[in-house]
């Protein structure tokens, strides 16, 4: 409903309010989808399942990018984009009716009463403070660097390297298509080689690609952008899997929401920090590179995480404990 109403927005203020709430509900939907995949797919393939879900989401973003390139010919211009968005949302509403609760949630529900308050968050903090702080810190650091990098990506290529807008769109479609494979690939690798090792490798490479992208030039820019997308999506997949595995069923969705809050705060503060660093260095690109360098601490934090690959969720964190 909020997506459809966005097409009817009459001014900037109404557009912002409608999109704020529309995205809030959409993000909650995506978080719960990852929780369902984590709880339903067997331990040996859990990483691959989360990666496949992320790849589908990235394909949806790619389709939105293609539609955006047609904004001049679409009926009603930018408003038409939000009307088109109602079509898949309608299918989701229809398909959701046949989606059962996960078996783990049903078993957890038998032992615990339903409560709508802050008790789950309080219990999560008290029972798993180290795990919650660890995963939230990693997400915060990555968002702290990545939001500014994504925000200024197109501006950087156009102003610093003379790219035209359609150059960026072409790279986004074809390069992004290649980068999407990073999600399923990283998930599968984490099933075979361990979550901790693959998360550290992808996060480290992502930070290095980000720094190099904003410091180098020439043909390397396209390759670095693809590498950044590939490792960024792959790292997010392993972190999402990790974040859902490290907490019991009674707290899993609460922990997922807490990770999203940490990422949102990190992104906002990252944009603010970038503006301060810009005043000091006189260059957006240098400021972003400094933020990316701080994100190099993220792989070091992941090193402290427990290994969860191949284990049943109850072995990692059980409600009965």
The predicted pLDDT at position 111 comes to 55
Whether residue 65 is predicted with pLDDT greater than 90 in this model: the reply is no
Whether residue 320 is predicted with pLDDT greater than 80 in this model: the reply is no
Measuring CA to CA, which residue among 137, 148, 135, 138 is closest to residue 290? 148
> How many Cα atoms sit within 13 Å of 131 on the Cβ side?
23
CA distances from 49 to 58, 59, 152 (A): 14, 16, 32
The alpha helices in the chain, defined as continuous H runs, are 2-6, 12-40, 46-69, 78-84, 86-96, 103-111, 119-127, 129-151, 153-161, 165-170, 176-193, 195-213, 220-245, 249-281, 284-294, 297-302, 313-316
Whether residue 110 is predicted with pLDDT greater than 60 in this model: the reply is no
Instruction: Give the mean pLDDT of 133-157.
Output: 93
Name the strand (E) or helix (H) holding 248. none
The predicted pLDDT at position 113 comes to 60
Distance between CA atoms of residues 105 and 301, nearest Å: 30
Measuring CA to CA, which residue among 37, 40, 10, 6 is closest to residue 23? 6
284, two tokens: 């957006």
Distance between CA atoms of residues 110 and 311, nearest Å: 24
User: Is the separation of the CB atoms in 2 and 22 below 8 Å?
Assistant: yes
294, two tokens: 């701080």
The predicted pLDDT at position 15 comes to 93
Instruction: Give the mean pLDDT of 16-34.
Output: 91
User: Is the separation of the CB atoms in 250 and 112 below 8 Å?
Assistant: yes
User: Is the separation of the CB atoms in 287 and 274 below 8 Å?
Assistant: yes
User: Is the separation of the CB atoms in 40 and 103 below 8 Å?
Assistant: yes
DSSP 9-73: --SHHHHHHHHHHHHHHHHHHHHHHHHHHHHHS-GGGHHHHHHHHHHHHHHHHHHHHHHHHTTTT
User: What number of residues does the chain have?
Assistant: 321
Assign 198 a pLDDT band (cuts: 50, 70, 90). very high
Distance between CA atoms of residues 192 and 47, nearest Å: 9
The predicted pLDDT at position 148 comes to 92
The predicted pLDDT at position 109 comes to 61
The region of weakest confidence among 66-70, 110-114, 213-217 is: 110-114
- Percent pLDDT > 90 in the chain is 52
The predicted pLDDT at position 60 comes to 81
Residue bearing the bigger pLDDT, 265 or 74: 265
Q: Of the ranges 1-5, 52-56, 140-144, 228-232, which is most confident?
A: 140-144
Measuring CA to CA, which residue among 203, 186, 188 is closest to residue 237? 186
Assign 117 a pLDDT band (cuts: 50, 70, 90). low
Residue bearing the bigger pLDDT, 120 or 32: 32
Predicted confidence (pLDDT) per residue in 225-271, tens digit: 989 988 998 999 999 999 999 999 888 999 999 999 999 999 999 99
Q: What's the DSSP call for residue 2? A: H
The predicted pLDDT at position 317 comes to 81
Measuring CA to CA, which residue among 93, 65, 88 is closest to residue 180? 65
């Amino acid at each position: 409903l909020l997506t459809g109403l966005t097409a009817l927005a009459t001014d900037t203020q109404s557009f912002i309010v409608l999109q704020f709430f529309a995205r809030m509900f959409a993000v909650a939907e995506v978080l719960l989808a990852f929780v369902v995949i984590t709880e339903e797919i067997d331990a040996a393939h859990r990483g691959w399942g989360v990666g496949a879900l992320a790849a589908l989401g990235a394909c949806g973003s790619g389709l939105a990018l293609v539609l955006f390139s047609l904004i001049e010919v679409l009926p009603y211009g930018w408003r038409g984009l939000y009307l088109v968005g109602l079509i898949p949302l309608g299918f989701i509403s229809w398909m959701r009716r046949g989606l059962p609760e996960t078996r783990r949630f049903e078993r957890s529900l038998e032992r615990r009463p339903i409560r709508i308050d802050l008790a789950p968050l309080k219990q999560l903090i008290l029972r798993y403070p180290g795990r919650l702080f660890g995963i939230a810190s990693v997400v915060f650091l990555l968002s702290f660097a990545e939001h500014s990098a994504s925000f200024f990506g197109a501006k950087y290529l156009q102003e610093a390297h003379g790219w035209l807008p359609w150059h960026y769109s072409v790279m986004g479609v074809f390069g992004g298509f290649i980068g999407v494979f990073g999600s399923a690939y990283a998930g599968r690798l984490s099933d075979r080689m361990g979550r901790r090792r693959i998360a550290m490798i992808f996060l480290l490479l992502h930070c290095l690609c980000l720094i190099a992208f904003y410091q180098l030039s020439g043909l390397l820019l396209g390759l670095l952008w693809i590498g950044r997308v590939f490792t960024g999506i792959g790292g997010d997949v392993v972190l999402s899997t990790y974040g859902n595995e490290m907490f019991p069923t009674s707290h899993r969705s609460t922990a997922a929401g807490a990770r999203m809050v940490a990422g949102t705060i990190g992104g906002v503060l990252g944009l603010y920090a970038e503006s301060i660093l810009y005043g000091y260095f006189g260059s957006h690109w240098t400021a972003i590179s400094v933020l990316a360098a701080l994100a190099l601490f993220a792989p070091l934090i992941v090193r402290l995480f427990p290994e969860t690959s191949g284990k049943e969720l109850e072995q990692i964190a059980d409600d009965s404990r």
